[in-house]
Structure 1
Amino acid sequence: MSVVSSRVSSVSSIIKATGLRAQLKQCNRIQYLKLPEDIKGILCKAGSESKEYEKLIYSLKEGAIKDSDLAKFLSKARQCISLLDTRHELFVQIILRIQWTSKSAEVISVYKLFLQDLVCMQTLYIKTVINSLIHLFKSVEDNNAEHKPGEFKDKDIERLNHIHDILHKILEVIPMSSQVLLQSLASQFPYIAHGTYTHEIYIYALLQILNYAPQLRSDILSLIINRLTLLDVNIPRKEAKDDEEDDEMNDCTDETVDGDNPTTVNNDADKIKTAPLIVHTMDTCMELFLKYMHEFCFVDNALQIESLKILYIDILRAFETIILPTHASQYVQFIMFYICSFKAIVAETFTDWLWRKVIDPNVAPVIRQSAVCYIASLLATASFISNGLVKQTMSQLIIWIRNYINIQEYKQYIDDNMKSHVVFYSVCQAFFHLFIARHKEFVNSKNGMLFLQELDIPRIVTCRLNPLKICISEIVHSFADITSTYQLAYCYTIIENNERNQLPIFGMKTHLPVLISNFFPFESYTLQHSRQRIVSLFHSNVVEIDSRSIKSKE
């Protein structure tokens, strides 16, 4: 016998003799732990350094437990819920960490009953239980995996259904828990850097809550819109335009290099790196939200008026508090644009609401400026806006402008501080913009041309406040071209004088302050997936307007 063969046979005999082979096989198997029978006795001794209590905690935290044993344990634990005071907080937290949604149907059923009884009998655990349930809204898998927007994995849908069952019961039994739920939904909302799928399924879960808790609709919709706005403002202005991505990269790199402020460089660099992810997330979430709006207001393609009223009020509240004060958002405002397309009266009501903001002197000037920009952009861009509403709005704008001019000219002197007239200049620019976009609908008819002549445009352009000097140059020149063509006003002389007065003089500051921005919120929508719901609602002149606004920004 060779030396090698003798060694192999000796090792084999040793393994057989000591039973190591059987032990090695057992190591490859899952070692299931047995949970104790006397749960009540163990819980009663908690807090007195009970070894049995510590062992129970360790078994629930680290050990593998059969579903049948876990179901029996939870059933017995239900009978001891009255004992679960503050001493047993760790025990409750360990139970909440159990991955129960992937267990057997028996475990899931008993687990639901346990949680329902727990929050009913021990209200001190309501916040802990709700937080643990909301945490399960998020997907734990790879967010970068490709998936079609609006399509969720079956196991995620099944998990959400189980969670909603429990939340529904909790809200029914404890109505005051709704505030705790809203706080948890806000605190656990995914961050900007989280993946698209996490955002999408979380928002989907929030919208599902509205099926059994409609009283929370306004708060939940406001929360979603608020977080969509946060995504929106973190998208570089040109990021979603494919033909301008390189320019944006170069501009950001040049402008953000500041030795005194390195934080700005890092923030902008991070924003550029994460921009494609944010754009994709924004696109997917906007599509999900717009789809919810349509399904809420339409049943078998028939508009439900009462549902439309409810949704409009909720979204208008969010628009007033979140979107309207936000500077230069790109996409989130199209939520209001979309609901206005459902019925003409909605667009009229929204326009009237905005106009009351504009003329209210108690409203902050920046909000009044933003409101009139929304009016002009909506009426200039939307195909569902009637000529009657355009005519009515142009009349309102021109009457307010003329009244403002009359008030100023009756004064002994006009305030030279242009900032005090920012609302006036914004209203003038809104009128110019709307006139440029919709003038063709009036010049082709006799009555329409008469209406334009009655606007008395020369009264505006020749007034002492000189709006042609302050408004955006591209808009002013387009307005001058059109009014000259149809002999409604002659602006070129005033424009030339304004440009001559702005020529630089050595030793003097002659440039004008930027008082009003070229912000028309509904001019373009470039998100690839959700744009299918929006672009069909654009007026035929939107491409022309958009190209002009892009040039002005450049």
Structure 2
Amino acid sequence: MSIYTTKSGATSILKPFSGADRERAKTAAANKVRFATAKEKGLLESIRVAVEDGNFHFVQEFTYFIRESDLDDDEFLQVFTDARQIVHHLTPDFISLVEALMSLNWKNRDLVIIQAYTDFCVDVMVTHNRYLPIGLIKLIVHWIPADLDSADWVNGSPSERAHMDLKTIHDALNRILTAVPMSFDEVIDAITSKFPYFKKPSHVTAGYLFNVLWFIEYKPIFKELILQLVLQKLLVLDVNAPRDAIDVETGENQQPTVNHPIGHTLDICLLMLYKFFDEQCRIEPKSREESLSASQVFHMLLYLFNELLLPSHNIHHVQFVIFQVCGIRSVYWEGFLQMLWKKVQNPNASAIIRHTAVGYLSSFIARAKFLPLGTITFYLQELSKWAHSYIDDSDEYGQNCSLKANMVFFSVCQGIFYLIAFRASDLTRCKKDLLFLQSLQLSRLAMCHFNPLRYCLAPVATAFAGVTRTHQLAYCHTVLERNARRKLATVYGHDKSMSEEVLETIFPFDPYLLKLSKKYIEPIYLAYHDNETDVVQTVTLPNIRKRGDSEMIEDDEFIVADKRQKLLELSNSEEFDEDCHYGSSINLKK
């Protein structure tokens, strides 16, 4: 009989009910329909019937009960106290029940209840490894801020309330991982699977990164794999926030901010990562153990640079992680430069990797404000020795001088030209410096049969020519003119605009555009300043008609004017200051 039926048989719909009576009736119905079986049997009895009789009906009812009801503290504590008593019976046959138990909201309850929940999780995962992935994900999912929680996350830092909630999560996770050391792979898989999609709001990705970095502070055994994952995820952000799409505006707090959504996310994440490495690698005179730990972190980062950053193409900001760390201690930048130089000289490495290593080497030496002059001259000398040796080993008349066949040589030459042009003020201060530059035999490099100036980026070649002419080290303008004519003649001969064969430029430490994280880079970063050398327009294209040119007279005025303008603009020494962009052109101006 319905609980709404009276003794007379008339239904309640025909009789007026007060609001209080109606609520009591609803509660009674809900208790009778939803909770009677679960409360009568309880967890212990439901499991006993399932184990002894093979009847899982009561277990299913209890599972529905805890999923749908809002347990008070006493009920919550009773459920988990009972669950710990029969944890050895909770085989994978009870996976739905265990998952429901782990899904209960426990974060904002009393410490006794949190302890009971954690104890159960530890027990069930130790007893049944099958539940490790489920249990870890149930904890790690709490690392992800909700889309509407941006007020609790300012530039990747949680509010006090959010931090207290997260501490509960991390304490529980720490207990579980200490008790279940074989969970290494499951932890990495869980953290990887829950990493937010790169288009998520900035506070979501940054909040998750905050928790990831927090995690490896108390579980350093995971440090290398977690940092590898972080760099991989930041690379995805980086390639989706190209330099030409990043625009800076003044935010509400009067601080400049990147208005590109993904660029803004990258900016906050790099700010957090720089802070992490600064704390990990900056040495205070405390103990030998801390010094060894910092060195281990650097070597870990150097390994990840080799594996992830060096082979990556078209990245703009993530590589500054190694730049920032190298600025902390001299032993770091010494190790970084040595690694790059070995990579350049390694004949077993691919040409593109060696070419990229030259770009990192020359860009780092040019931009690192903390490098002593002796280091700059050492690597200039080593690069020059290698280039001269390459020329000596070649056959001037039978050698294939194409870009593809000699990419590493042209890369080294461009690196030399770039460094001399960029660091001219440091390298020409006194007679001793000029004698050193003379010893590099720059004229031989520029004038050799390989003609490296032909393949260099035009602003680099022109700026180098201006510096060397001013200090009477080499005279390259004739070569630049000849190269310009050769390119134009090729275009005319095919009666269309042909692509010029130019070495792909990789100067990875071009000016830093992200505003929040820039505070870690700016103090150690050298911006380009015009060296005020006597550089003039070096490419002149006289209108000389040759025999046999009559067939292209009609098109000369249009093609020549267009091409001449392009080359004259590129050859202007000011372009060295204005057009240095990683991967396409160079812009040495901040």
Q: TM-score range by the shorter chain?
A: 0.7 to 0.9
Alignment-derived partner of residue 216 in structure 2: 210
1:409 and 2:395 matched: yes
- The Cα of 1:96 is off from its aligned counterpart by 1.9
| SS in structure 1 at match of 2:492 | coil
Is the Cα contact below 8 Å between 1:139 and 1:156 reproduced in 2?
no
Gapped regions of structure 2 (runs ≥ 5): 1-11, 250-257, 531-573
Alignment-derived partner of residue 294 in structure 1: 278
Alignment-derived partner of residue 525 in structure 2: 538
1:484 and 2:482 matched: no
From 430, 433, 444, the equivalent of 2:429 is 444
1:365 and 2:396 matched: no
Aligned CA distance change for structure 1 residues 281 and 314 (closer, same or farther; 3 Å): same
CA deviation string 1:385-432 (max 9, x = no partner): 11111000000110011011111136x611144201111111111111
Letter in structure 2 aligned against 1:120: V
Letter in structure 2 aligned against 1:535: E
From 44, 59, 69, the equivalent of 2:48 is 44
Aligned CA distance change for structure 1 residues 74 and 484 (closer, same or farther; 3 Å): same
Taking the TM superposition and a 5 Å limit, the aligned residue runs for 1:116-515 are 116-142=122-148, 145=151, 147-242=153-248, 276-298=260-282, 305-409=291-395, 413-503=398-488, 504-507=491-494, 511=498, 513-515=500-502
From 3, 19, 22, the equivalent of 1:21 is 19
RMSD: 2.8
Letter in structure 1 aligned against 2:506: F
| SS in structure 1 at match of 2:107 | helix
Aligned CA distance change for structure 1 residues 380 and 27 (closer, same or farther; 3 Å): farther
- The Cα of 1:311 is off from its aligned counterpart by 1.4
Alignment-derived partner of residue 9 in structure 1: none
Letter in structure 2 aligned against 1:516: L
Aligned CA distance change for structure 1 residues 542 and 156 (closer, same or farther; 3 Å): farther
Aligned CA distance change for structure 1 residues 66 and 365 (closer, same or farther; 3 Å): same
Letter in structure 2 aligned against 1:492: H
Alignment-derived partner of residue 87 in structure 1: 93
Aligned CA distance change for structure 1 residues 137 and 505 (closer, same or farther; 3 Å): same
Is the Cα contact below 8 Å between 1:239 and 1:275 reproduced in 2?
no
Aligned CA distance change for structure 1 residues 179 and 147 (closer, same or farther; 3 Å): closer
CA deviation string 1:322-375 (max 9, x = no partner): 111111211100100000000122111100100101110111111111111001
Distance 1:423 1:159 in 2: 54
Is the Cα contact below 8 Å between 2:457 and 2:502 reproduced in 1?
no
Distance 1:177 1:542 in 2: 54
From 40, 65, 74, the equivalent of 1:68 is 74
Is the Cα contact below 8 Å between 1:226 and 1:322 reproduced in 2?
yes
- The Cα of 1:37 is off from its aligned counterpart by 5.7
- The Cα of 1:136 is off from its aligned counterpart by 1.5
Letter in structure 2 aligned against 1:549: C
CA deviation string 1:454-483 (max 9, x = no partner): 110011011111001011011101111110
Aligned CA distance change for structure 1 residues 357 and 110 (closer, same or farther; 3 Å): same
Q: TM-score, normalised by structure 2?
A: 0.81
1:549 and 2:534 matched: no
| SS in structure 2 at match of 1:118 | helix
- The Cα of 1:300 is off from its aligned counterpart by 6.7
Aligned CA distance change for structure 1 residues 36 and 314 (closer, same or farther; 3 Å): farther
Q: TM-score, normalised by structure 1?
A: 0.86
| SS in structure 1 at match of 2:168 | helix
| SS in structure 2 at match of 1:211 | helix
CA deviation string 1:208-245 (max 9, x = no partner): 122222111111111111111111011123122449xx
Distance 2:586 2:151 in 1: 36
Residue correspondences, number: 510
Alignment-derived partner of residue 262 in structure 1: none
Is the Cα contact below 8 Å between 1:210 and 1:217 reproduced in 2?
yes
CA deviation string 1:124-183 (max 9, x = no partner): 111111122111211124155585214203343223222222322232222221121111
